[in-house]
Amino acid sequence: MIVGDGGAPIEKSAFLVENGRITAVGRQGEVKTPAGAARVDLAGKTVMPAMINVHVHIGYEGYTSWGAGNYTPQNVLDHLQREAFYGVAATQSVGSSPTDESIQFQRDQEAGKFSPASRFLFMPGMAPPNGGPDAVLLKGTQALHAVYEVSAPAEARAAVQTMAGKNLKSVKIWVDDRRGTYPKMTPEVYTAIIDEAHKHGMKVHAHATTLADQKAVVRAGIDVLVHTVAGEKIDDELVALLTEKKPYWTTVIGLGDRTELCDDDSFAAQTLPAAIVAAVRATTEARPLAPSCGPPSPNASRREEMLAYNLPRMIAAGARLVLGTDAGIHPGYTFGSADHHEIARWVQLGLAAPLAIVAATSRPAELLGLEDMGALAAGHRANFLVLNANPLENIRNTRQISAVYLDGAKIDRDALLAGWKK
């Protein structure tokens, strides 16, 4: 058993689940079984906590179409079921989900109105008018008014107060100009957002992709840094800021990677319609943010070099890595399989496997305030993956999924797959 807290795994473990929660964890022979308990033999398997994804864009993907028209509770649930299929117990949609519909969805999910799925969390976005999401995501968020558009500090504070009034815990800001297509959010505005959010106990997630912007938002006190600096090496000034502020950091590297569908990877392909897989594989010209299976882009090797330089240094400096994927923008990089891709990339870039698992389990639980999730311990929800191989030996073994349990119940993965293949 990998507990998820970074400690040593428990060999020959045993654990007890009652009413959806873990009530005892230990070695075989130490855990006392109540009379009448059902026993599940997991000999030879590895158990790890279900993962938690702090950054996706849920609801717009329809697999044969993409857009606001697809944003229904049923489609949100479908995406959460895809995350659950791949072993993700909680999934946070960031800056792209409409507020009131999402609050209603959370209430309904909590009330047990939906079939088992990853637990839904969300936050609204804030950006200058017509700013924020990239050109694809923008088509969805504008139609559904998922982003609060603000251009002055007072307006920004009022928007945060509205969110706090709805009991929202987080907000996303974009500090970017989408390749010069709109004026970037000013420091005066984001400083006001951060200050007002913190007054209300809310966390601020900041999209920033350049070294200068990452420094600026970390210095201003954001809680979660989103994206990597992919085009240049980080410097001592950012390292010092990370050491001082210790923000959470979600890399969402995978969206820029060549999709595994190109190599006919059945782990990624299994939940997608065959037509989508075939279409992605047949696409050989480069398309921004969309998967293609042509030759690598001219800057791919430089990007790789920068990631390999920056990722270990960001973490060593104090950035608190958490799992996020940006899934939902395009079918080639989609819900659930993307989570496994992301954590394997961290390890490929130099992170130790046990730390990758912490960053996918207990640390995102800590960030999201999910106190009974993210680790396998007494009192926690029984959310776990049963694996046929040990991911501490090879991180890609997280893909060797034998079963996924959420709140103590085994997910019917075969039934989900059969539904998606229709």
Least distance between Zn ion and beta carbon 376 (Å): 29
Nearest CB to Zn ion, comparing residues 176 and 326? 326
Nearest CB to Zn ion, comparing residues 78 and 326? 326
# residues contacting Zn ion (CB under 5 A)? 1
Least distance between Zn ion and beta carbon 176 (Å): 11
Residues 334, 330: Cα–Cα separation, whole Å? 7
- Phi, psi (rounded to 5 degrees) for 355: -75, -35
Least distance between Zn ion and beta carbon 326 (Å): 4
Q: How far, in Å, are 291, 296, 337 from residue 286 at the CA level?
A: 8, 9, 22
Tokens of 67: 């857009």
Listed ranges 105-113, 275-283, 320-328, 341-349: which one lies at the site for Zn ion (CB under 5 A): 320-328
Least distance between Zn ion and beta carbon 291 (Å): 16
DSSP string across 98-130: -HHHHHHHHHHHHTT-S-S-PEEEEE-EEESTT
One-letter amino acid of 195: D
Q: Could you give the 3-state DSSP secondary structure of residue 166?
A: coil
Q: How far, in Å, are 82, 219, 244, 407 from residue 89 at the CA level?
A: 11, 32, 31, 9
- Within 13 Å, how many C-alpha atoms sit on residue 19's CB side? 3
Least distance between Zn ion and beta carbon 266 (Å): 27
**Hey, which bits of 282-335 come out as E strands?**
320-321
Listed ranges 161-169, 181-189, 192-200, 321-329: which one lies at the site for Zn ion (CB under 5 A): 321-329
Binding mask 261-290 for Zn ion (x = CB under 5 A): ------------------------------
CB 94 within 8 A of CB 53: no
- Phi, psi (rounded to 5 degrees) for 310: -80, -40
User: Measured at CB, which residue is nearest to Zn ion?
Assistant: 326
Listed ranges 12-20, 183-191, 322-330, 347-355: which one lies at the site for Zn ion (CB under 5 A): 322-330
Q: What is the largest CA-CA distance in the chain?
A: 67
Long-range residue pairs from 10-16, CB within 8 A, at least 24 positions apart, any chain? 13/47, 15/47, 15/376
Residues 420, 28: Cα–Cα separation, whole Å? 38
Least distance between Zn ion and beta carbon 123 (Å): 11
Nearest CB to Zn ion, comparing residues 90 and 395? 90
Q: Could you give the 3-state DSSP secondary structure of residue 55?
A: strand
Listed ranges 36-44, 62-70, 299-307, 319-327: which one lies at the site for Zn ion (CB under 5 A): 319-327
Nearest CB to Zn ion, comparing residues 2 and 327? 327
Q: Which residue has the tokens 């950012």?
A: 238
Least distance between Zn ion and beta carbon 329 (Å): 8
Listed ranges 237-245, 274-282, 318-326, 370-378: which one lies at the site for Zn ion (CB under 5 A): 318-326
Nearest CB to Zn ion, comparing residues 196 and 326? 326
Tokens of 20: 């959806």
Nearest CB to Zn ion, comparing residues 13 and 99? 99
Listed ranges 33-41, 277-285, 326-334, 404-412: which one lies at the site for Zn ion (CB under 5 A): 326-334
Least distance between Zn ion and beta carbon 307 (Å): 17
Residues 234-263 binding Zn ion (CB under 5 A) are none
CB 116 within 8 A of CB 383: no
Nearest CB to Zn ion, comparing residues 21 and 303? 303
> Using the rule CB under 5 A, is 326 a contact of Zn ion?
yes
> Using the rule CB under 5 A, is 61 a contact of Zn ion?
no
Nearest CB to Zn ion, comparing residues 326 and 339? 326
Tokens of 114: 């939906």
The site for Zn ion (CB under 5 A) is made up of: 326
